[in-house]
């Protein structure tokens, strides 16, 4: 792949950007990474995601793909012969992987917001301890990674 053909707009702390970077790395794909500053959004981000103005955004040539799960499906379909597949071949297993990815996408950000808004340190600690699935933030991130690995790279 030609250098500069793929660009990824992201931020280091986004679970959604980490997900895309993980798959690009696992497939051995070269890409140029642009760290976004949300206090001062780049012209590149505003041009390629004018509706939501958020990351991740994968730019392939002059076309932009937004939303992490959509990006992963695009990578899987466009570079199916490069590196390991993103999703399992079996339709049922693909559906299960999509279900859990969507579930995590729905639960983890809300848990973070609830924790940040908690009035007391005790309430914050309780929210972190209980969280989605009754798991902590760290467990949720590990759970997502393990699900992806389990569903398509391990027997």
- Residues 68, 98, single domain; the answer is no
- Residues 68, 27, single domain; the answer is yes
Upper half-sphere CA count for residue 54 (Cβ side, 13 Å): 8
Strand order in the sheet with 63-66: 32-35, 6-10, 57-60, 63-66
Q: What is the pLDDT of residues 129-151, one digit of tens each?
A: 666 545 555 555 555 655 555 54
- Residues 62, 118, single domain; the answer is no
Q: What is the pLDDT of residues 78-98, one digit of tens each?
A: 999 998 898 888 999 888 888
- Residues 120, 58, single domain; the answer is no
62: domain CATH number is 3.40.30.10
Q: Is the pLDDT of residue 112 over 80?
A: no
Q: Per the domain annotation, does 12 fall within a domain?
A: yes
Report pLDDT for 3.
44
Full domain range(s) for residue 23: 6-78
pTM of the model: 0.71
Last residue of a domain, which of 78, 109, 131? 78
Band (1; pLDDT cuts 50, 70, 90):
very low
Helix 91-117 / helix 121-130 crossing angle, nearest 10 deg? 170
Q: What is the pLDDT of residues 33-76, one digit of tens each?
A: 999 998 999 999 999 999 999 999 999 999 999 999 999 999 99
- Residues 104, 70, single domain; the answer is no
Number of domains in the chain: 2
- Residues 103, 74, single domain; the answer is no
Q: Per the domain annotation, does 84 fall within a domain?
A: no
Give the tokens for residue 50: 């004018």
- Residues 11, 74, single domain; the answer is yes
DSSP state letter for 133: G
Q: Is the pLDDT of residue 153 over 60?
A: no
- Residues 66, 13, single domain; the answer is yes
Q: Per the domain annotation, does 39 fall within a domain?
A: yes
Average pLDDT over residues 14-41: 92
Q: Per the domain annotation, does 103 fall within a domain?
A: yes
Q: Per the domain annotation, does 85 fall within a domain?
A: no
- Residues 103, 137, single domain; the answer is yes
């Amino acid at each position: 792949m030609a250098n500069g053909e793929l660009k990824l707009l992201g931020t280091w702390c986004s679970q959604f950007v980490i997900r895309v970077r993980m798959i690009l790395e696992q497939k051995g794909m070269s890409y140029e990474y642009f760290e976004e500053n949300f206090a001062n959004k780049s012209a590149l981000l505003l041009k390629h995601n004018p509706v939501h103005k958020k990351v991740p955004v994968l730019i392939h040539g002059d076309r932009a793909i937004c939303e992490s799960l959509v990006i992963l499906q695009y990578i899987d379909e466009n570079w199916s012969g490069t590196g390991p597949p993103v999703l399992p071949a079996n339709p049922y297993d693909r559906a299960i992987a999509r279900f859990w990815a969507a579930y995590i996408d729905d639960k983890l950000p809300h848990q973070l917001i609830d924790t940040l808004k908690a009035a007391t340190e005790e309430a914050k600690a309780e929210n972190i301890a209980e969280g989605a699935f009754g798991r902590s933030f760290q467990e949720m991130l590990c759970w997502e990674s393990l699900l992806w690995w389990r569903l398509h790279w391990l027997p």
